[in-house]
Structure 1
């Protein structure tokens, strides 16, 4: 049986190509709209919040702009007015219909921010209607509750946004993403071994750092949503400050890394520490050196660190879908979840 989630994972190369084709020609427009601003504020919840973490790291490390994550309750519950002059407020919502996110973006505009919507909900969605600039992704309809193609296309939109505000990157790296994702879908690595290693576990720690931290958070969320695992997503810097005590023979670690970059050596060292403590460690990406330090490994994309998260989550999505089926769970309709979540 092919699940909707598995089918939508397979649709990601086409969705990414369509999204990049639609948004890359708008780089100059993005630059003009963002010109009066000096820092970014990302507004999101759930999977979109994990995408926002990628956006934050990307603009700070490659565009030289301060960025932060909004607390929507400041706008919706406390109703406090802030001075957001010089701020580019970027709201992310797959549906474009999450009322809290729409309300917070409106609030940001009223506080003086230039507003941007990133959504798969189309230009007529409430979020798009509230924004000064709309970046619509081209994922098509997503039916499975766990987000896959709407997540990766949101990352693509944020990468284009970063280029528009002056990120010092090679744009050809972004154009290679769909092919890299296609390759990972065809060959994710030792998927069966990782599925079997997690099948009898109640919990898992998922860790990465820097630009890859967003992927750790997203994979942990997917394992919670679709496999009902107690999955903890952490930066490895935070993990080493105490929570590493939970990693033991009954609680393995999934460690994520780009093929290069300044955080990879620390990830390899963490894998060696986890294995040295008698626990299992599984790699996603990180090249041969990380794979050699772990129990089993999933492949990572052949992409530089700044765009690696667009591909790195894909083996994690495949792992989630396969593990859910192994556990007798329908990953398309996890218990207690709906496609559009409303918060007060």
Structure 2
């Protein structure tokens, strides 16, 4: 019998299709307001998996909208009582549950300072909605597994949709439509992931490396492997990786490289070749299939996948890897130790 986590991983194509079918009108309305408002900066409040979606938003808003983006420091609002000035900014809260007190505190302060607020949230009856001028529901249905999957990819899709509509760019808007089908294709790699997991299940540490838009993907895959398989998985940008962590790599050391085609590919290719020479057991999430000495170590993503939306698809093999490692190590993916579905931190 499939775990709840696995079931929800496989629900993602339908969840993403539903979002595109039913929420694009909401996205367009929000984008129209934001285009007119023209914020001078964006501040994003999030925790956990949602914080990894916030990293994606930081990249997209900065790259496409040319707007400075920062991730909120909740302790300034909850412990130090020294929040920054938010005048002329947009404050975004990203949350599955909409209940985390620290995210709520950032949004509440934004409302106090009369800065426009946007909630990207799955639970539309949550406290977060009370502090939101604009609401973008994810419509994922209840996510029962402690480890998030479908809410994460829905968050990423909502962010990509908002950017495409904000710019009113037909090419970017067209890039959104195939995403549910791309995710469905990637799920077919499950058996290969299971084989890889059985071979590396005794490892207590691994690295995940990416660059650019997929920086959020490295963080999300690492989080899933840590919280479910109890393996110390560390995410790095390819640039930061060269500034020290590469010293960890030796023969047999497992390393996951997220390397879609695009502007960061040549950098990733050089890193992959270097760690392969060092003897790393390199697992590749890529659509460039000549990179691996061992083709069984490639977890393919669609060749036509645009780089800017690649995190929505490339994270799925990472979710499957976390699932398979967890089961291979004898753990229950639906009962991670010391964790609850809703984490309330200040």
Question: TM-score, normalised to structure 2's length?
Answer: 0.94
1:167/1:218 CA distance change after superposition, 3 Å = farther
Cα pair 1:97 1:121 within 8 Å, conserved: no
5+ residue gaps in structure 1?
none
Q: Which of residues 334, 337, 343 in structure 2 aligns to 1:335?
A: 337
Contact 1:43 1:91 in 2 (8 A): yes
3-state SS, counterpart of residue 254 of structure 1: strand
Using the TM superposition, give the Cα deviation of residue 21 of structure 1 relative to its aligned residue in structure 2, in angstroms. Answer: 2.0
Q: Give the structure 2 partner of residue 180 of structure 1.
A: 182
Instruction: Determine helix, strand or coil for the equivalent of 1:170.
Output: helix
Q: Which residue of 173, 198, 204 maps to 1:196? A: 198
In the alignment, what sits opposite 2:217?
215
- Unmatched 5+ residue regions in structure 2? none
Task: Name the structure 1 match of 2:317.
Answer: 315
Cα drift, residue 63 of structure 1: 2.0
Partners of 2:280 and 2:31 in 1: how far apart?
48
> 1:287: which partner in 2?
288
Aligned length in residues: 342
1:266 counterpart SS class = helix
Partner of 1:16: 16
- Residue pairs, 1:13-162, within 5 angstroms: 13-34=13-34, 35-36=36-37, 37-122=39-124, 124-162=125-163
Shift of 1:292: 4.7
In structure 2, do the counterparts of structure 1 residues 341 and 239 end up closer, same or farther at CA, with 3 Å as the change threshold?
same
Distance 1:42 1:248 in 2: 38
Q: Map Cα deviations across residues 126-169 of structure 1 (whole Å, 9 max, x no partner).
A: 11121010001011111111100010001111112212332755
Contact 2:208 2:235 (C-alpha < 8 Å) held by counterparts: yes
- Root-mean-square deviation (Å): 1.7
Moved runs in structure 1, 4+ residues, more than 6 A?
none
Tell me the CA shift for residue 110 of structure 1. 2.0
SS, match of residue 165 in structure 1: helix
1-side partners of 2:248 and 2:217: how far apart?
Answer: 21
